[in-house]
Amino acid sequence: MIYAITIYGEPGVFEALPKERQDEVMTGHGALQEALKARGEFVSMKLMPPTSAVMVEPAKIEGAAPLITDGPFADTKENFLGFYAADFKNLDEALKYAKMISSPIARLEVRPVAWAGGAISSE
């Protein structure tokens, strides 16, 4: 089963950490990537800050083009920051790997993937 380990947190908090704490966080990510690399295919992504995003809103009128807006609008709550995805034996194994990147500035969600295509595929 492919599981996604998604990371939620507040953009900018990592940057506000002292260097040694940033290194602590990055050490966890480095270890997870090494461990995943050793077991096969995986995908991981870190998104740029939300300020770099543009929104494609569904058209308000049928048949019209979707609306491009320069959002997202200021939201101080948790944001989607990035994710990992890999094939795991079961939930326990996925959780074991997720714990490697747990830190006080991020909330992790471990969720099974219903379908995946591309670099890693569920088919």
Partner 1 sequence: MSDWLEATFAQQRPRAIAALTRVFRDIDTAEEAFADACLKALTVWSQDGAPRDPLAWLLTTARNAGLDQLRKSQRRAAILSRHTEAFQPMPAETPDPDEMRDDVLRLLFICCHPELDRRDQIAIALRIVVGLSVEEIASGFLVKPKTMEQRITRAKKKITSNPVAFETPNPAERGARLGEVSLMIYLMFNEGWSTSAGPAQMRLTLCEEAIRLSRLLVVLFPAMGEQAALLAFLLLQHARRRARMDADGKLVALDDQDRSLWDRANTSEATVLLQKAERIGHRGPYVIQAAIAAAHARAGSPTETDWAFIESHYAALYALQPTAVVRLNQIAAQAKLYGPHHALKAMEGLADDLATYRWYHAMRAGLLQDIGDHKAAIAAFETVLSLSPTTPERAAVAEKIDLSKKELGDM
Nearer to partner 1, 23 or 41 (CB): 23
Q: In angstroms, rounded to a whole number, what is the distance separating the alpha carbons of residues 10 and 61?
A: 34
Q: Is 34 left (phi over 0), alpha (psi -120 to 50) or beta?
A: alpha
**Structural tokens at position 56:** 């494609």
Shortest Cβ distance from residue 123 to partner 1 (Å)?
33
Note whether 99 and 21 are within 8 A (CB): no
Give residue 107's Cα distance to chain centre.
10
Q: Does 27 engage in binding with partner 1 (CB under 8 A)?
A: no
Nearer to partner 1, 2 or 81 (CB): 81
Q: Which of 21, 95, 110, 111 binds partner 1 (CB under 8 A)?
A: 21
Nearer to partner 1, 2 or 98 (CB): 98
Nearer to partner 1, 72 or 112 (CB): 72
Q: Which of 16, 26, 45, 67 binds partner 1 (CB under 8 A)?
A: 16
CA-nearest of 36, 34, 29 to 94 is: 36
Which residues in 29-88 contact partner 1 (CB under 8 A)? 48-52, 54, 68-78
How far the first Cα of the chain sits from its last, in Å, is 11
Which parts of this chain interact with partner 1 (CB under 8 A)? 10, 12-18, 21, 48-52, 54, 68-78, 103-105
